[in-house]
A and B are shown apart, each in its own frame.
Chain A
Amino acid sequence: MMFARARCGYVFLLSVLFVGVIAVAITATMLMLGWLAIANSQIMQQSSKALTLAETCAEHALLQLYEDNTYDGLESVTNSDGICAILRVGGAGNENRTVCIEGTSGASTRRLEIVLQRLLPSVLVYSWQEVKVFTSCTYD
């Protein structure tokens, strides 16, 4: 065969290149996975910080409500990790109050929705749950 006779060295070279393309793809995938692993750890850290921020605001709001049941929220707390916002506190008086908190760190946002059975003589929490979307509060 004319091809085999005239260009037999290319078989090896082409084979190497073919294998090389596959290897480069694998390498790129591995690098991408590595990069994603880094991104994942950063997102997880930001997410944890966002939740901790939300819990910080929840603590702040609960103390404010305990000391003054006319407290209506609508404030935010900022620290080096990010910001948390207290939405308008639901309900009125001593019973059936709703507190909604949103903590944000970087691109991560975590939300807490807390329903209080009563405020005094001691705060009685009916439910404390993380939610994707608030159902008991609205953004003003």
Chain B
Amino acid sequence: MLNVQSPPLCRRSRPAFLLLDVLLGISVFAIITGAVGYGILYSQRVSIQSGDRMRAVTVAANALEGVRAIRDEDFALLTAGIHGVGVGSAGRFTFTGSGMVTADGFRTTVTVERPATDHAIVTAVVAWSFGVERTGTAALTLELTDWRQEKEIGNWASPSLDGAFISEDPLEFNAIAVKGNYAFVTSETDHGGVGLYVFDITDTSSPQRVAEGFSLDVAGRQLVVAGTTLYVLTASPSAEIRVYDISSPDTLSADDLLGSFNLPGEGLGRSIALFGSTLFVTSGEDAIADQLYSLSISNPAQITLLDSTHDDGGYLGISLHNGYAYIASSEDVSELVVADVYTPSDLRVAAGSGYNLTDTPDGLAVAAFGTSALLGRSVGDTIEELVLFDIANNPVPSPPPGPWYHDIGGNVVALDTDPTGRYAFLATDKDAKQFQVVDLWKFVSGLPPEAAYKSTTTGVGRGVKYDILRDRTYFTTTNAFIIYKPAP
């Protein structure tokens, strides 16, 4: 029997259906394949383009690094113009031609503009062209300044008078702070002084008093500047710290008062120092009131107390160094006190506490710098009034080495050092040696350290401040604000 198998239903009843399905399938497949292909090609293309851009940015950053290296060598080498940057024969970065092309085809040009002698604007532009869809540019702009210069210090073994403001009245000038072209000088008020004077020191040979209408109305002791804010420690019994806006020193007035702070006790404040947003203030001897205060000046108009500590002696001078406060004290058994002020809200005496010097003359002034601390004392018959400590290995002096002593012959009322630690400048009440310069390098070598001294007929030395920007030392006496300059 013939067994004939029936054809599938689709072929039997709808003969064109399979073909249509296949055609439809092929069409859909083609569309999908095209989309996938386009996706792959697009992805590849943008990946390559992105890679080009990343590479260009890296090349631009490298070019700026090269320019920075050239600046590090000498700022004057940053000549205005369009340059290439490459490594020269000496193995150092140098400007080469008007552009550089990397091995993979990225062209870099560096444009240097010099809007000021200490300022350069550097723009690195990287361009690439690897076909119709692979072209572009990337640019980075960097501003460089000449902060790597070095100030030179003159020969202070031979100082001379540069300029002075001399009053007929014994105004009793005190401490000095400098901001820009202005010097702020405190004074007593017993003999007609106004407490705070402002001098324009644009021309140091002729300091000019400005803001003549201003009066502190109370004696000013020490002062510090932060930005455009001046903190003055006064003898006021109820507002020892006064805060002024000194944005316009020429027109300083009572209206510029931002705020004040009342220390415990009445007019006990003796010295002041600033670190960041913390103001450290010391007080004279008092049975009740503390001697060291840390104050928050995050808002200068609203000073708040962070912490305070008490001691038996008065704290007459302060200098901050490496998280420690070096304090000149009237305490007979510790003329130098060292306090750990790293955490201003938790003041504590450093381990070892300080240093007890021979006899009882007070510590009056102190400066800590580098690996040394310099202490000035009140005059004594059997002591040497200037003492240099080594603090290289321990924040609290633990000789040897040192300490080293130098006889001043009078009270060391104030002192300051140059930032290199070469010279110390002293304000003393020693006759004919009111201003003294001490060579600290000789001091630590055991040699006689006196480098120079100046005599003045304007009274005893009361304050001193070294200004390295001008290489000048400001010195105050009973009647004068004096500016000394070194030999060239």
Contact = CB atoms under 8 A, between A and B. Distances in A.
Interface of A: 4-10, 12-13, 15-17, 19-20, 23-24, 26-28, 30-31, 33-35, 37-38, 40-42, 44-45, 48-49, 51-52, 55-56, 59-60, 62-63, 65-68, 70-74, 77, 79-81, 88-96, 98, 118-123, 140
A95 B468 contact: no
Given A12-B21, A30-B42, A19 B50 contact: no
26 contacts: A6-B10, A9-B21, A13-B25, A20-B32, A26-B39, A34-B46, A34-B47, A37-B46, A38-B46, A42-B53, A44-B54, A49-B140, A56-B141, A56-B142, A59-B142, A59-B143, A71-B227, A72-B227, A79-B141, A81-B140, A88-B276, A92-B226, A92-B273, A92-B276, A95-B322, A121-B419
B42 A31 contact: yes
Given A34-B42, A37-B49, A45-B138, 16 more contacts: A5-B10, A9-B18, A16-B28, A23-B35, A31-B43, A37-B50, A37-B51, A42-B53, A44-B54, A72-B229, A89-B276, A90-B276, A92-B274, A92-B276, A95-B322, A118-B419
Interface in B191-218: none
Contact of A59 (B147, B151, B224, B469): B147
A44 B57 contact: yes
B275 interface: yes
B144 interface: yes
Interface-centre pick from A5, A67, A68, A92 (highest chain B CB count, 10 A):
A92
Contacts of A24: 32, 35-36
> Is chain A's binding surface mostly helix, strand, loop or mixed?
helix
A13 B24 contact: yes
Interface in B25-60: 25-26, 28-29, 32-33, 35-36, 38-40, 42-47, 49-51, 53-54, 57, 60
B349 interface: no
Contacts, number: 189
Nearest to A90: B276
Contacts of B320: 92-93
Nearest to B230: A70
Given A27-B36, A72-B227, A62 B147 contact: yes
Nearest to B471: A121
A121 B64 CA distance: 27
Contacts of B9: 5-6
B369 interface: yes
Given A16-B29, A67-B469, A68-B180, A31 B39 contact: yes
B10 A9 contact: yes
Nearest to B41: A30
